[in-house]
Structure 1
Amino acid sequence: MGPGNRPLDLEWLEDFMALADTGNFSRAAEARAIAQPAFSRHIRSLEDWVGVELFDRSAHPAALTPAGQRFLPLLQNVLANLEAARIKARAAHDTAAASLRFAATHVLSLTFFPRWLVGMEAQLRMGPIQTMSDSSLACEDLMLQRRVQFVLCHGHAAVPGRLDEGQYPVLRLSDDLLRPVSAAAPDAPGQPLHRIGQYSPVPVLAYSEASGLGRIMRSRMRGMFADGGDAVHAPQPGMEHGVAVVFTAHHAALLKTMALEGRGVAWLPHSLITEELRSGSLVPAGDDSWNVPVEIRLYRQRSEMAPAAEALWALVQGQQVGSAGNVPDQ
């Protein structure tokens, strides 16, 4: 005998437990609600799978062989673990169904999301909340894979992303502004160390392909950033010397740190640099014509969601969109 390539049927394990408990094929078959011939075939199939006899059929009642005695406690553990796994899986499913699952871009998870969430919780009992912070590209992937119910990110009406192309419902929560900023010149407080149009070329700290802000910047100021990231371009009339991308990342917070270190000009969300602008550690690197207005958006799944998620969407949808938004000073 031997298992060969024959698959194991879990029903055989339950049949084995019933026979080990009663020692009688007829009573065990009755307890399992199966005809005795079929029950006997199941026991034999299990023995074929194990490769040894598990019951001494010459004994009355049927007794476990030494192999069966060894098999029994191990099988009990296996069945107990399977039941525990089933219970835990259902509990995890119930928890996930009852929770709110957000994906938020790095910068908004640090600036906008905590304050906005507090406002929502003051009006709605939400229960468990799961938040994943990542690049815009990764957040879109999470939504497309149905791993989250909501995505919080920046957007621009003229620069559609994958969620817009997929016609995912969206609400505008607030406004933000991408502002070109530089560290202050050490010998001229209040003046930028790097000014757009002043040097040849202007060192730029740019967003990577995975960044939604980078997608917006590349579209709105096409020609400013070379595809390879190292060429010099003149983006518009009046800017004679062009720019050179000297550093690339998809974290706005990292670009802010590099700007504070004096490494170049970065277009950063106003919501991220309010304190730095107030203190003067970062200053505008160009006039307001270089600012890029953006929206803070909340996307949702297209299909029906859990009640808690639908309640949140209804609450946000019912509010006057943008009335409580933080519109930065320009």
Structure 2
Amino acid sequence: MEVAWLEDFLAVVAHGGFSRAAENRNITQPALSRRIRSLEDWVGTPLFHRTTHTVELTAAGESFQVTAEETLRRLASGRDEAREVAQGHAELLRFAATNALSLTFFPAWLRRVEATLPFNINVQMVANHMEICERMMIQGQSQFLLCHHYPAASTLLAPAQFRSVHIGDDMLVPVSAPDGNGRPLHTLPGRADAPVAYVAYRPESGMGRIVAAALETALPPTHLKPTFTSHLAKLLVTMALDGRGLGWSPQSLVAEHLERGELVRAGDAGWDIPMEIHLYRSRARQSAVAEKFWSHVAGGAPTA
């Protein structure tokens, strides 16, 4: 069995088919199919149901996915730890963070935590949208993930493989540019015959998942007409400032705009979406310094 076969298998799962997975892996589709067949021969059972138009995991494939992800994560973690020790960087901590939190929350939180740490750390940070951050965690490229959490929103980080600690709180608030009288240009909830202009998060965004879940499970009915879509919360704030539509934005990003009157609320507090800020890690063993850092944070280090 080759490690590349596991990466091929997970690529097919992630991309929902062989064509896009082959493109992602930079190999031909026939070559990818042969490698998946070889993996299935090694496992001893089919891992995918194949039809003309769809590829779905078998029950055995769903079970094997957990093993494949955990194996690659442990290999990546072990390799990186060995390299860091060899290079004298054993204190390195690798973080992934969603774009908004990397700007608004992470620097001050890390400073507070470091003020109480009894050891020194070297921090490496990668910021991106939620889905890429989740993939980095699944593949073992990051030891920790800083992200927003909302109970009804989906995540790729299975509780059996990952755990998290609540380290802060945030709020998504509906905002709009004001008209000449200081009232919102765009207001909730909109009407069926006149949906309100809306700047929306893309589905791969963590906050996109949270807003979608809140609209489905917690907020009153709305009539929204998307006019702009992005995974970047800061860009959506810029579009809201430009009057393109209302949007739900992290309070930490728009507080100053609201104070200056550049943005106003597009709905009362009943439209707010409360979120928690969580720090995630794999349940598998981490490097010695990562384990010490986690114990310190989970044991009651400063939160927001």
The residue that corresponds to 2:174 in the other structure is: 180
1:68-125 deviations in Å (ceiling 9; x for gaps)? xxxxxxxxxxxxxxxxxxxxx9568545643000000000000000000101111113
Say if 2:294 is the partner of 1:301. no
The residue that corresponds to 2:259 in the other structure is: 278
The residue that corresponds to 2:29 in the other structure is: none
Give the TM-score, by structure 2 length.
Answer: 0.67
1:32-65 deviations in Å (ceiling 9; x for gaps)? xxxxxxxxxxxxxxxxxxxxxxxxxxxxxxxxxx
The residue that corresponds to 1:63 in the other structure is: none
Offset of 1:165 from its aligned partner? 4.5
Question: Quick check: 2:129–2:231 contact (8 Å CA) kept in 1?
Answer: yes
Q: Which of structures 1 and 2 has the bigger CA Rg?
A: 1
Whole-angstrom CA distance in 2 between matches of 1:96 and 1:136: 27
The residue that corresponds to 1:251 in the other structure is: 232
Which of 87, 91, 96 is equivalent to 1:98?
Answer: 91
Which of 181, 188, 199 is equivalent to 1:196?
Answer: 188
The residue that corresponds to 2:138 in the other structure is: 144
Offset of 1:158 from its aligned partner? 2.1
Question: Quick check: 2:200–2:236 contact (8 Å CA) kept in 1?
Answer: yes
Which of 142, 146, 162 is equivalent to 1:168?
Answer: 162
The residue that corresponds to 1:155 in the other structure is: 149
The residue that corresponds to 2:124 in the other structure is: 130
1:49-128 correspondence runs (5 A): 90=83, 94=87, 97-124=90-117, 125-128=119-122
Say if 2:220 is the partner of 1:206. no
Offset of 1:250 from its aligned partner? 0.3
Question: Quick check: 2:109–2:303 contact (8 Å CA) kept in 1?
Answer: no
Say if 2:270 is the partner of 1:289. yes
Whole-angstrom CA distance in 1 between matches of 2:142 and 2:111: 20
Q: 1:160 to 1:210 in 2, by over 3 A?
A: closer
CA-atom RMSD, angstroms? 2.3
The residue that corresponds to 1:266 in the other structure is: 247
Q: Which runs of 5 or more residues in structure 2 are unaligned?
A: 1-81
Which of 188, 191, 212 is equivalent to 1:218?
Answer: 212
1:160-207 deviations in Å (ceiling 9; x for gaps)? 41114454110011111111100121x112x21111135722011111
Whole-angstrom CA distance in 2 between matches of 1:285 and 1:93: 55
Q: Which runs of 5 or more residues in structure 1 are unaligned?
A: 1-88, 225-234, 326-330
SS in structure 2 opposite 1:256?
helix
Amino acid at match of 1:196: L
SS in structure 1 opposite 2:252?
helix
The residue that corresponds to 1:64 in the other structure is: none
Question: Quick check: 2:161–2:284 contact (8 Å CA) kept in 1?
Answer: no
Q: 1:107 to 1:91 in 2, by over 3 A?
A: closer
Whole-angstrom CA distance in 2 between matches of 1:194 and 1:282: 11
Question: Quick check: 1:104–1:133 contact (8 Å CA) kept in 2?
Answer: yes
Whole-angstrom CA distance in 1 between matches of 2:142 and 2:291: 13
The residue that corresponds to 1:30 in the other structure is: none
Whole-angstrom CA distance in 2 between matches of 1:318 and 1:144: 24
SS in structure 1 opposite 2:211?
helix
Amino acid at match of 2:130: S
Q: 1:206 to 1:96 in 2, by over 3 A?
A: farther
Larger mean CA deviation between 162-171 and 285-294 belongs to: 162-171
Offset of 1:271 from its aligned partner? 1.2
Amino acid at match of 1:170: S
Q: 1:317 to 1:244 in 2, by over 3 A?
A: same
Whole-angstrom CA distance in 1 between matches of 2:289 and 2:300: 17
Amino acid at match of 2:227: V
Whole-angstrom CA distance in 2 between matches of 1:305 and 1:218: 34
Whole-angstrom CA distance in 2 between matches of 1:221 and 1:297: 22
Seq. identity, %: 42
SS in structure 2 opposite 1:294?
strand
Amino acid at match of 1:289: G
Question: Quick check: 1:100–1:126 contact (8 Å CA) kept in 2?
Answer: no
The residue that corresponds to 1:7 in the other structure is: none
Q: How many residues align?
A: 220
